Amino acid sequence: MAAPRSPPRARERERPRAPASGSDQVHHWILLTSQALDTIWRLGKGSVMLAVSFLGAALCCFRRLHFYLGHRLKWWIGYLQRKFKRNLSVEAEVDLLSYCAREWKGETPRAKLMRKAYEELFWRHHIKCVRQVKRDNYDALRSVLFQIFSRGISFPSWMREKDIVKLPEKLLFSQGCNWIQQYSFGPEKYTGSNVFGKLRKCVELLKTQWTEFNGIKDYHKRGCMCNILFSDAILEYKLYEALKFIMLYQVTEVYEQMKTKKVIPSLFRLLFARETSSDPLSFMMNHLNSVGDTCGLEQIDMFILGYSLEVKIKVFRLFKFNSRDFEVCYPEEPLREWPEISLLTENDRHYHIPVF
């Protein structure tokens, strides 16, 4: 008789288990790797956060340092540029019509007038370029002296006959002009017993520089020398004060001639006819002392300057275009064939140098 069969479930339990499949092994290794990384992260999390914090602080510190050093470097670059760059008071030549187009835009009546005046200078008077002159209360003196030096114009005849360095003492001791102690050096407003010493140094510098420029025959070398001289504000102002004194000396000389009934140039008769310049003292106090400080040269002063330096100063007054006063000369009728110097002005206050 056959043995009884065991139930199916019992037979299944009696079978040996099959080995785990490949996918189960991959899952097992992923789980182990994840647990390992999690453990490593927990252990290194503090160090990583500390390193990140340190790196952030370092970057912030470097950023501030970079900003500070950049700011200081910019300051030093500007300082060195200001210190060593030549600040020319008479700039290089620029095209006349380009300068006009830049300065006088728009359709206002004044802008149209100025453009027509500049075109007149370009086409009729053959002025091709212009040198801009620093705008201050010395610019008329600067414009004239620059051209005298750059062109190598010689001393006036009367300066060749006298030692101009001794003129301050001559006014005091020979002509009794003790009022010259009230002479004012432009914005410095210095007066006192040392005026003669200061004036002597200024006039001596003018004589030295004039002699040096007159002795240079090469035009380009004179131009280089002018660039050096007219970038030194201290030397410049001494030269301008010397020119002011030369004008005062001439006014005093002509005034003494007038007192002795001698014939004097008509421009001085006009000067002494004014209440504010009836004599050399009033001329100095009311007019000359302000030059370089609160005002520049007036028209009558331009006459005296041209007469004193024996140059004919031709001025193109652009704001007087289409009138008889567009082109004027100081003095109008020079006594002899004096060198001619040209200026242009847009308002009778500031002057530039035309280049033919």
pLDDT exceeds 50 at position 173 = yes
Whether residues 181 and 317 share a domain: the answer is no
**Residue scoring higher pLDDT (176 or 329):** 329
Tell me: the pLDDT tens digits for 186-199?
888 666 678 888 99
CA-wise closest residue to 317 among 352, 271, 268, 267: 352
Task: State whether residue 245 is helix, strand or coil.
Answer: helix
> Percent of the chain having pLDDT more than 70?
86
Q: Are residue 196 and residue 287 in the same domain, yes or no?
A: yes
Tell me what the mean pLDDT of segment 294-313 comes to: 95
Q: Which of 31-45, 211-225, 294-308, 335-349 has the lowest mean pLDDT?
A: 31-45
Q: Which amino acid is at 16?
A: P
Asked if residue 7 is part of any domain, the answer here is no
* DSSP conformation class of 346: S
In this prediction, residue 174 has a pLDDT band, given cuts at 50, 70 and 90, of confident
Q: Residue 264: which domain range?
A: 137-297
What's the whole-number average pLDDT of the chain? Answer: 86
Question: Do 323 and 265 share a structural domain?
Answer: no
In terms of pLDDT, which residue wins out, 323 or 35?
Answer: 323
Q: Do 261 and 171 sit in the same domain of this protein?
A: yes
Mean pLDDT to the nearest integer, 88-114: 96
Same domain, 157 and 287: yes
147 and 124 in a common domain = no
pTM of the model: 0.76
Separation of alpha carbons 75 and 231, rounded Å: 23
Q: What is the pLDDT of residues 127-159, one digit of tens each?
A: 999 999 999 999 999 999 999 999 999 999 999
Residues 288 and 324 in one domain: no
277 is written with which tokens? 């310049």
Domain boundary pick from 297, 321, 347: 297
Give the number of domains in the chain: 2
Backbone angles phi, psi at 328, to 5 degrees: -125, 160
Is position 51 within any domain? no
What's the helix, strand, coil split of the chain in %, to 5?
Answer: 60, 10, 30
55 band by pLDDT with thresholds 50, 70 and 90: confident
Look up the CATH number of the domain holding residue 315.
Answer: 3.30.200.60
pLDDT (0 to 100) of residue 355: 96
| Poorest-pLDDT segment among 30-34, 133-137, 155-159, 212-216 | 30-34
Q: Which pLDDT score is estimated for 14?
A: 47
Residue 24 burial (CB < 10 Å; 0-12/13-18/19+)?
exposed
Q: List the beta bridge partners of residue 131.
A: 93, 353
Give residue 319's pLDDT band: very low, low, confident or very high (50, 70, 90). very high
Q: Residue 12's pLDDT is what?
A: 47
* pLDDT, position 1: 45
Same domain, 108 and 172: no
Element housing 130 (H / E): strand 129-133
Instruction: Give the 3-state secondary structure of residue 289.
Output: helix
